[in-house]
Amino acid sequence: MKEIIKKIAEKNKELESQEVLRNQTEMENPSTATDRRNFLRKTAIGGITLAGMMGLNIGDTIARTTSKVSRASAPSDLKITDLRYALTTVLGGTAIIRIDTNQGIYGLGEVRDGADPRYALMLKSRILGLNPCNVEMIFKIIKQFGGPARQAGGVCGVEMALWDLCGKAYNVPAWQLLGGRYRDKIRLYADTPESNSPEEQLKLVKFRIEEQGYTWLKMDVGINEIAKIPGTLVNQKFWQNNGNLNQWSGDYMSLANARHPFTQIQITDKGLDEMAKLVDHVRGMVGYDIPLSSDHYGHFDLNNGIRLGKALEKYRLAWMEDIVPWDYPEQWKTITEALETPTITGEDIYLLKDFRPLIDIHATDIVHPDLASSGGLLETKRIGDYAEEHGIAMAMHQAGTPVSFMANVHCAAATQNFLALEHHSIDLPWWEGLVKTTDGRQLITKGFANLPLTAPGLGIELNEEEVKKHLSPKDKTFFAPTTEWDKRMSHDRIFS
């Protein structure tokens, strides 16, 4: 493991140890009530790990972990009766889904940002009438309908909602159903805001660190930011769209849809110097106590990725993200072996099976699943556990509403090699208000997400009036009936 990752992991352990120490101090305080003391003792010890139950399936694991809890429903009689959605404006269009049951309890999930809600709606006919507590069985029924990136949005959204439902049925938090927790607070990483002047940006960075309390930042450092500087790039004009090297939209033959090795865009020495200046400016404001990650370089090949990585090494970045596509493991291994800076990819990978080629050959130093694409809570925990066995850490990509945010928080709590979770909507003043916590806790405190220790399921419910204020203008239906998706019209088995 590279030295920078070791330092980050050690810092995380120190923060977690401090939390346990605080609990221990309160336990020993004579004024602490007996029931509170017993609760704190249990939280200090932690939950049951999946590693201790490797011989059990997830149903047996849930049965063991919840054998003495009070139920909030009759779990064995639960049936799925409906699936509906509301499309929010978060990140241009992010759908929250709701799975209803015959006992009045419901589960919340989310279709990944920018994905079509129909990725989830098409699954409705496959899950109606099933018991939502059979999470793994239902996941195996529907996982064939997922794919990389946003194609997985429906499967992952349903899986999130099932864990929320299962936790409510058994009256335990989702992290407990994953085998217990390693931490009570989840470290977040935040983007570094841009501005029109160094002075204004310094104010924004100080606000991010000193007022908002974030202890980990990430910045974009891409070729689009130097495209208008003469002499910085080779072969850029062939790909420019209105003066931009846009990597997000365009037709099939645009830069946005061209795989990195096929653009033949090269960065000159002057271009490398200009990109280094961007990082130098931010590092100068942030200092070296705070990890600084980087992303969104643009589409160019591994040779230029290595050259850029070497130009930025002196700034001790926490990682370089998505330099080339995730499905080039051999190229990733070449880049990783060439650089001192840790490498990371994975936000568009669906299921553990497609993480394995990267992990097995240590192609990257860190894996980076997005729970809304990687398969949901349990599959993402499996990805983290498999990476841990190979000495690889896990950070988590997240760009959505508080629903997927909380699903990530539960998974991060239950996964030992976790580093930090992305928070992509920090500057939306209404974002946290889309939900209410069911145990009264704050969603986020000073750069850390607060794990619900007792609240069942994901530990949130929708603030419906606030969600209605932020519905997408493309679809303002707000959990309208979806009966057109009730009837199953195909035979889905994928083998003869």
pLDDT in tens, 345-355: 999 999 999 99
- DSSP-based three-state secondary structure for 94: strand
Dist CA 377 CA 405 (whole Å): 11
Strand ranges for 32-120 from DSSP E: 80-88, 94-101, 106-111
Whose structure tokens read 């990890």?
A: 291
Dist CA 100 CA 481 (whole Å): 12
Q: Running DSSP on this structure, what letter comes out for residue 341?
A: S
Instruction: Average the pLDDT over 89-98 and give the result.
Output: 96
Could you tell me which of 254, 250, 244, 251 has the C-alpha nearest to residue 222?
244
Instruction: Give residue 242's pLDDT band: very low, low, confident or very high (50, 70, 90).
Output: confident
Could you tell me which of 171, 174, 161 has the C-alpha nearest to residue 81?
161
User: How far is CA 85 from each of CA 30, 398, 403, 491, rounded to the nearest angstrom?
Assistant: 50, 20, 13, 25
Q: How many CB atoms lie within 10 A of CB 238?
A: 9
Dist CA 204 CA 212 (whole Å): 10
Q: Are the C-beta atoms of residues 365 and 337 closer than 8 Å to each other?
A: no
pLDDT tens column, 413-456: 999 999 999 999 998 999 999 999 999 999 999 999 999 999 99
- Cα four-point dihedral sign 71, 72, 78, 80: negative
Query: Residue 9: its pLDDT value, please?
Result: 74
Instruction: Average the pLDDT over 148-164 and give the result.
Output: 98
pTM given for the model:
0.86
Tokens found for residue 252: 């099939």
Instruction: Give residue 287's pLDDT band: very low, low, confident or very high (50, 70, 90).
Output: very high
Query: Residue 196: its pLDDT value, please?
Result: 76
Q: Are the C-beta atoms of residues 387 and 380 closer than 8 Å to each other?
A: no
- DSSP-based three-state secondary structure for 416: coil
Query: Residue 1: its pLDDT value, please?
Result: 58
Domains and CATH numbers, the chain: 177-457 (3.20.20.120)
Dist CA 468 CA 479 (whole Å): 10
Q: How many CB atoms lie within 10 A of CB 184?
A: 20
Q: Are the C-beta atoms of residues 216 and 420 closer than 8 Å to each other?
A: yes
Dist CA 133 CA 258 (whole Å): 42
- DSSP-based three-state secondary structure for 204: helix
Query: Residue 58: its pLDDT value, please?
Result: 53
Q: CA dihedral defined by 300, 301, 304, 305, rounded to 10 degrees?
A: 90
Inform me whether the pLDDT recorded for 45 exceeds 70.
no
Could you tell me which of 449, 450, 395 has the C-alpha nearest to residue 417?
395
Dist CA 167 CA 106 (whole Å): 11
Q: Are the C-beta atoms of residues 348 and 149 closer than 8 Å to each other?
A: yes
